[in-house]
Structure formats: structure tokens, C-alpha cells
Structure 1
Amino acid sequence: MSEDGQLIANYRVHVVPVVSALANPPWQRNVWLDPSAFESMDHVFHTLFDDFCDADEPERYLGVSLRTEEEVALMRELGLALNAAADEAPNDSDAEYLASAAWPGVVAVAGRLAQVMVTNDLTQLAALVGVGQAGKPADHRSR
């Protein structure tokens, strides 16, 4: 794997699970509302705005944690939705985020972004292992 490929993989291993969690309301209720769990909205915001992306200005993460312009556009949309939910959470509690009127928008855009990111990652993985167009391993035998 190239150095660039390794960099993007190292970032995406953090970003994709967080985006997937944002698309999964049962996970949010079972994990984020459990005070003993590590993952919380604080973790989400640090991952998507500080540590592995900048959902306010995702363009600079193209080729770092985002693979395509579509991912950039969806990440910007997700950032806007998360900021709208934050505006409705005056005490910054996970329960307030989940109860905000903006939260269904967060879940919807996160679902679309998760789908796009996973599809893009699977396409890259298929290319690495040599899966052909029909979804079958490429025949590397000499003829």
C-alpha cells in the first residue's frame, strides 16, 4: 500500500465508525447514553471536527480522510446538521443532542455519508486484492 493509501486508511479507521454511529439511533441510545461507555458526542465532535477531519471545512481533508468530492459535500452537510443540533443542546449533553429537532437530519445525512464512505472503501479494497469488474477475483494466471 502506498504512503498516501496508508495515511487515508489511518484516518478513515476513525472517521467511518463515527459516521456510521451517527446513522444508527439504537447504537446512540445504547452507547452514548451509557455513562460507562467510552464513546459519546464529545468523541464524535473531536473525531469529525478536530482530530481526523474538519466538518466545517472538509475540503482540506480530501485525500486525507475523505476520498471524493461527494464525501466532502456530505461531510460539510453533516457538520452543518451537527452544529444545528449543538445549538439545541445548551448543556452539551448527549441526551439533549438526541432529543433535538435537528437530530433526524443528522441521522439522515450520516446514513448517506456512511453508505458512500463504505462503498468507496470497498471499491478501494477490491482494487487492492484484484477483484475484477464482475466481483470475482481477477485471473492472474499466465495464458
Structure 2
Amino acid sequence: MSEDAQLMANHRVHVVPVVLALANPPWQRDVWLDPSVFENVDHVFHTLFDDFCDADEPERYLGVSLRTEDEVVLMRELGVALNAAAVEAPNDTDAEYLQAAAWPEVVAVAGRLAQVMVGNDLGQLVALHDPEPRT
């Protein structure tokens, strides 16, 4: 595996699960509202804005944690939606985020992004096992 492919894999192993979690309201209620579990909205923000991407300016992560321009566009939309929800969560609690009027848009955009990211990753897996392009 090339260095670039390894970097992409190392980033996506963090980004894709967070996007999937954002697209799954039952998971959010069951996991994020449980204080004994590590994953929460703060983890989401650190993953998508600080550690493995920048949802405010995702273009610079194309080829690092994002595979395509479609992923970049959707990540920017997700960043806008998350920032709108943050405005509605003055105490920065998970419960406030989940109750924010902007939260359904977060879930919807995350769902579209998750579908694109998982599809792109599956395409890469197929290419590993079938190096001949299909017509």
C-alpha cells in the first residue's frame, strides 16, 4: 500500500464512522446520551473539524480523508449544518445538539455523505480485488 493510500485509510477509519453516527439518530440517543461511553458530539466535532478533516474548509483534505469532490461538497454542507446546530447548543451538551432545530439537517446531510463515502470506499475495495476496470 502506498504512503498516500495508508494516510487516506488512517484518516477515513475515523471520519467515516463519525459521519455514519451523525446519520443515525437512534445511535446518537443510545450512545451519546450515555455518560459512560466515550463517543459524543465533542468527539464528532474534533474528528470533523480538528483531527482528521476541516468541515469548514474541506478542500484541503481532498486526497487525505476525502476521496472525491462530491465528498468535499457534502462535508462543507455538513460543517455548515453542524455549526448551525452549535449555535442552538449554548451549553454545548449532547442533549442540546440533538434537540436543536438544525439537527435534522445535520442528520440528512450526514446520511447523504455517508452513502457517498461508503460507496467510494467499496469501490476502492473492489478495485483491490479486481484491478481490471470494468466497462
TM-score by length of 2: 0.97
Equivalent in the alignment of 1:129: 129
SS of alignment partner, residue 66 of structure 2: coil
Structure-1-length-normalised TM-score: 0.91
1:46 corresponds to? 46
Instruction: Give, in whole Å, the separation in 2 of the partners of 1:4 and 1:131.
Output: 18
- Secondary structure of 2:73's match? helix
Q: SS of 2:56's equivalent?
A: coil
Aligned partners of 2:3 and 2:23: how far apart in 1?
Answer: 30
**Is structure 2 residue 63 aligned with structure 1 residue 67?**
no
Letter in 1 for 2:9: A
Query: In structure 2, how many angstroms separate the alpha carbons of the residues matched to 1:116 and 1:9?
Result: 16
Counterpart CA distance in 1 for 2:42 and 2:90 is 14
SS of alignment partner, residue 127 of structure 2: helix
- Residue 12 of structure 2 aligns to a residue whose secondary structure is helix
Q: Which runs of 4+ in 1 moved over 6 A?
A: none
Residue identity opposite 1:71 in structure 2: E
Distance 1:6 1:120 in 2: 16
Post-superposition offset of 1:130: 1.2
- 1:85 counterpart letter in structure 2: A
Once the two structures are superposed, the pairs formed by residues 1-143 of structure 1 within 5 Å of their partners are 1-130=1-130, 133=134
Cα deviation, residue 131, structure 1: 6.7
* Partner SS state of residue 53, structure 2: coil
Q: Distance in 1 between matches of 2:129 and 2:3?
A: 17
Unaligned runs of 5+ in 2: none
Deviations 1:48-103 (CA, angstroms, capped at 9, x unpaired) = 00000000000000000000000000000000000000000000000000000000
2 CA distance for matches of 1:36 and 1:42?
A: 14
- Between structure 1 and structure 2, the one with the greater Rg is 1
State the identity as a percent. 81
